[in-house]
Chain A
Amino acid sequence: MSITLVLFLIVVGITLVITAWAARRTRTTVQFWAAGRTIKGWQNGLAIAGDYMSAASFLGIAGLIAFNGYDGFMYSVGWLVAYLTVLFLIAEPMRNTGKYTMADVLSYRMSPVPVRSAAAISTVAVSASYMMAQMIGAGSLIKILLPDLDKNLRPYFDWAIFGTKLDPSIALVGLMMMIYVIVGGMVATTWVQIVKAVLLMGGAILLSLLVLFYFNFNFLAFFDKIHSVKDSATKLPFTSPGILYPYGKATIWGVDKALVENVSLGMALILGTAGLPHILMRFFTVPNAKAARTSVAWAMGLIGSFYVMTTFLGFGAAALIGKANICAQVVSGFKCAPGLKPNNNMSMPRLADFLGSYFFGTTGGEFLLAFIAAVAFATILAVVAGLTLAASSAFSHDFYVNVVRTHLFHGTVSEREQVLVARITAALVGLLSIWLAAKTGATANVAALVAGVAFVIAASANLPAILFTLFWKRFNTWGAVASLVGGTVVTIWLVAVGPGWTLPAVAHPAFPLQNVGIVAIPVGFVLAIVGTYVGELFKADRLAELRFHEIDVRAQTGVGAEASPMPA
């Protein structure tokens, strides 16, 4: 075993111990979720940052910038500005209506059976696609730490599921994470996310400082170096926009296709966050609307600072290593080992390896690589825990308990039964995401994947349902179900027939854009509106309008908001 692997395992081990300790401490002192009563704004802000910044932020954006220069930075910008949508429209009303899951807020006004079923579908779709990218990110780390694993395990993975052979590294690490999350309890508690957010910020600050130190903190010299890195296809310097989606190459609907891709991406980025079930759940843990607001402010400070640093990290990797040399195994002089293809998800660990070696010698490189890989792994594990919790609570709590058992097969549900259903859901979502990860391929960028699928479903299915439930009096069950199911289906369908992120790219996809938000998000909103009017036509669900008055007053003022929103 290499020193790096041993160090990696030690750091991950320490993280897991801290996590387990923090989780147990929470469980015994303040009854687990009831910690909600005492979670302060800044603590919840850290936790939001922890839940939000996944492999997509830590590995993905740096990779996009390292391989495509400036255009990758658009992800950072969008994912911060997204919090204005959350702050202005979502955070306080969600806290004031004070329920346990997203579907609880919806079923305030709507007929519970269809709305909870539909919300379970969209939540599981968001979580599975989000988790798919986390699996790819974790797989990339394992491929760096154990470069021969894929080759050695290949014979055991030489079978296909629905025409896709599993990727050995992704399958192995994915299964391990699922077992940890399921057996160890789905503890996406606030403290787990706080520990992880601190680690992630620490890792990013350390690497950023080293990059800048390499250039003696001379920004102009740093940008001179980035400017000297040129894209081979467009001949543009890496400081320039237009490499990821080259301008002036093709048009769509009479407009430059690259422009449409960027606007479409931007829509998913700034509207998707407000519809992410695992982020929305965080607003139920604070005592009141004021704390919800404060926690968004803290989250914006942390997330924004991190995203500014992505330019040091991504540009640093491009300038110091170069995209051709970022892959699972490197030989002397930081060149790719023969026969390996570059993988942009590996830019951060490779940068750590390079900077460590440059400043502290070979052992320093191994240590820094181990540290950053461990931070990335802890990041992924915490996000997987949060996503698993969101998916399994949507399915177990919203669908199984409140639909299947309460309305279809009457009877009481034991806690054992609920936990069992939650665990089975978690396992199935995990397996689905491992399969999707293998189908997408290990070199697909994790940030592009999350923004391209999970955020679009969140923006087209969940956001219209939430916004209209809170602010539109006429909105009813039909509209909610239409957007929740329709937005999910339309997004998945457009992505499935589109060019996708698997390389080599599909030559003539049925839908021309990688980022489908520009079509899917308006479709989601239109479906919500049309569904509402069709529902009115059938005179269905007249109670939704009657109940609007209550949610309106509660959302705006916090009248009757629950003091302790989370169940024990």
Chain B
Amino acid sequence: MKTHAAGLKKIALVGNPNSGKTSLFNALTHLRQKVGNYPGVTVDIKKGTAQIGTQRIEVIDLPGTYSIYPKSDDERIVSEVLLDPSHPSHPDAVIVVIDATNLKRNLLFCSQIIDIGLPVLAVLTMGDMLEKRGIRIDPAKLSDQLGIPVLLVNARRQKGIDKLKHYLKEGFDKPKKEIYSDIPLPPALLEAGRKLYPDAGNYFIWLEILRAQQSRKSRDSRIKALKQLLREEEVNIPGIQGKETLERYKKIEEIIMDSVDDSLRKSVQISDRLDDVFTHRVWGPLILLAILFLVFQAVFFLAEFPMRWVEDGTAWVSTVFSSYLPAGWFKNLLVEGVIAGLGGIVVFIPQIAILFGFLSILEDTGYMARISYITDRIMRGVGLSGKSVIPMISGMACAIPAIMATRSIENWRNRLVTILITPFMTCSARLPVYALLISIGVPSKTLLGFINLQGLVLLSMYLLGIGMSMAIAYVLRFLIPADGKSLFVMEMPLYRAPRWRNVFITMYERSKVFVTEAGKVILVISIVLWFLASFGPADLGMSREETNTEQMTQAQYKSYRLEHSFAGYLGKAIEPAIRPIGFDWRMGIAVITSFAAREVFAGTMATIYSVEGEGDEFHSVREAMLHDVDDRGRKVYSLATVLSLLVFYAFAMQCMSTLAVVRRETKSWKWPAIQFAYMTVIAYSASFIVYQLFR
């Protein structure tokens, strides 16, 4: 009885974490992938299309999980999709991906999936590791025992993929038997469940009862009926689940007794020896530091070349458009708004691609788990786990890929806290601002004969960022408390060579998600900022003020335009508010325009001070700012003001792209709004204290 004689339309991939699910998904769909949108789910769920002959099958890659019982909202999607036939992603059939080297534990989840009653096929991965370990598995016997087709597949070498595709094309049956159905439910409840679901097995009914118990409101009439029944019947859910797990493991022992021969089992010596070094008390942390340094350097410096190409390319495109388009607001919109905005999005791609290339290698080789293992103790002091280390280190290059990297943190609470604190890390966009300000406000003195004072201040800025992120993480322990139920048990996979296909697909996919999803927001904000800085009340006929601008040089005219733009008036309007932190209206304008990106600060200053010439802009801006005096003849950029500005740029959320990415990763505007608000408050307060102390 083929359930889908005409073949399948939709299949779901499920399996334990680290089971090779992603590799199989990539092998089936190649680059025909996109990210699906699921309400309440914060991880990305990928959908792809498998092309088999002329047939197209939709493949959905569900989050990796150890059992059907969800431990988080993200995992809940697995049972939702599989149980609810009205769910848009409800599949015709399920592929369970099983790490053959961890058969027993993987079969626990597989046996639960079998008992749901959908057509199931099991794919055994890591077959190449079996031989090395002296384990033999008989797929035919296993298939017989489980009552479902079992295939050995090596996605890396494309072995078994054709056979799998053949099965997908032909379709496959529902499981021939139930593995565990003797659920100790109150008879009345079970009886009622059978009436509601006449075609389903006991396990399906049990899972529906659980769904009813957990759902707050459901439109499904059967779930409602079960909910009603649950009010009358007492059900010991953890007791039933515990008993089920033990019973399943017993059955699994029997099943693998016949189909697995591990009498010649060997230990995995190479991997163990590697761990002796990589997690060694002395060598472990040292190697970790070296690897983190390498990744950081790569994102920081390697990305610089392609980023410069993007900047040059943007400039070239702007020039081309400028010379062919007639002057006017449309040309300005296109060149200074749209093209500059697009360039500002594309410029992040090198950093994102390089970081995710490295992360994918670290993940694939198994080293990522060791990073968490080594650093867990340190991060626990502030209520996080070792998984937050990589995003935070990446944040020292750029917060955007760093925040995208938080998705490897399974625990939502810890992921959110990491997202909230990562922008405090000193990113590369702060460097030009710091360099300019330090050169203005901090004397180039040498302390103790070898310490450069300016260098010392720059180092302090890095430490300030790390310190603040840790402090906020500590405070968030009380504001966003841990649920107390989460377990920080983590698998330490065997060391393996990276799969380059996965690496490249990750690089491509991450960059694409950034451009298509965060990119939209960035483009809109950059056009708004361009408008604010380019137009003023006079342009819209709101002001009758006439100034003779003909005598001005081009630089003076630009400065005049900025001063009389909306951004200029805004800068002046907020002056009373920023006086207490030592800022004047010029700095107010720079704060507004550099919301696009911190490094815009220097460019805005150059415009405000009518700096002439393109060549040595840094030097001329520095001179202009250095010699600027207020109406009482005091230096505008006093030590107090410079320190206040430094602290402000260290703590303020002056980066629209980061906010766009936070919205993308948390799937709501709530968290970027909170983040913007609290970082601004901290920045303002800190600047206030610093300015008042040093003035």
- Is B a genuine binding partner of A? no
Which residues of B approach A to under 8 Å, CB–CB?
none
